[in-house]
A = this chain, B = another copy of it.
């Protein structure tokens, strides 16, 4: 049976609210996700929260009931609360129907089986949580095997990244690693590393991309460093006709990932 919390002063509310900050996520190994759509996506992917908060008004919604039942069956804590507290937890004026607190997860590089997917996304020093979440969402849609985060990327478990992923955080494996670990792992098996670059004349539609293709996207402001570009088997450029000299990093990754997917689905 769900218990009830309606006091802002409750220590659990304070503790959960603090998970909006990276420091507390790191200490606790927990993160926040919100909204019925995202939590249902998580449930369908077999991820259930340690704590599930829902508003009494939504208690009879079938998806809320399913979340409560599965959370409790898995040993988690389902907590009935009110819109004000949900609002405080989510940091939004119009909170979703539910907020969940999940244990952080994520495979190691060596857990990935590159033969299971034709496309793998790799990003280095990605700084924007919205870009990270959007790239995960694109990874889900294009059948990517996972997202490999190189060096100092933004936290994939930040509230903004989880929100922008629209649930793909729970379905697309995310590995956090370093270039020094990634490079030897990459070369220990088949696959080509394809870098998105502004410093090349190779049109992205010309090469044939064989599986597995590892698509490397560089830092939003600076692109990738020269030593990473030098390690790429192929550097390609998306044509730009306008005044601006680059695309948004999540957009560029998506245009490129769809090119790889389109080649493969067209045989």
Task: Please give the residue numbers on chain A whose beta carbons come within 8 Å of chain B beta carbons, in ascending order.
Answer: 41, 44-45, 130, 134, 137-143, 164, 166-168, 171-172, 205, 238-244, 246-248, 250-251, 254-255, 258, 261-262, 265-266
Q: How far is the CB of A48 from chain B (nearest CB, A)?
A: 16
CB-based closest 8 A-B pairs: A140-B242, A143-B241, A141-B240, A251-B254, A134-B248, A171-B243, A140-B244, A255-B258
Which residues of B are found within 8 Å of A242, using beta-carbon distances? 139-143, 168, 171-172
Residue ID in chain B nearest A266 by CB atoms = B205
CB–CB B244/A258 < 8 A: no
Q: How far is the CB of A138 from chain B (nearest CB, A)?
A: 6
CB–CB B140/A251 < 8 A: no
Which residues of B are found within 8 Å of A142, using beta-carbon distances? 241-242
CB–CB B140/A243 < 8 A: yes
CB–CB A258/B241 < 8 A: no
Tell me the complex Cα distance, A162–B151, Å.
Answer: 29
Identify A244's interface contact among B137, B250, B255, B265, CB under 8 A: B137
Instruction: Say how many copies of this protein the assembly contains.
Output: 2
Q: How far is the CB of A52 from chain B (nearest CB, A)?
A: 20
Which residues of B are found within 8 Å of A137, using beta-carbon distances? 244, 247-248, 251
Q: How far is the CB of A111 from chain B (nearest CB, A)?
A: 19
Q: How far is the CB of A201 from chain B (nearest CB, A)?
A: 15
Tell me the complex Cα distance, A44–B143, Å.
Answer: 41
Tell me the complex Cα distance, A262–B241, Å.
Answer: 12
Residue ID in chain B nearest A136 by CB atoms = B244
Tell me the complex Cα distance, A134–B141, Å.
Answer: 19
Identify A254's interface contact among B45, B171, B241, B254, CB under 8 A: B254
CB–CB A248/B164 < 8 A: yes
Tell me the complex Cα distance, A45–B148, Å.
Answer: 38
Q: How far is the CB of A178 from chain B (nearest CB, A)?
A: 25
Q: How far is the CB of A133 from chain B (nearest CB, A)?
A: 9
Tell me the complex Cα distance, A41–B243, Å.
Answer: 8
Known: A138-B251, A167-B244. 7 other contacts (CB 8 A): A141-B239, A141-B241, A141-B244, A143-B242, A171-B243, A238-B258, A239-B261
- Whether A239 contacts B255 in the complex (CB less than 8 A), given A138-B247, A166-B244, A244-B137, comes out as no
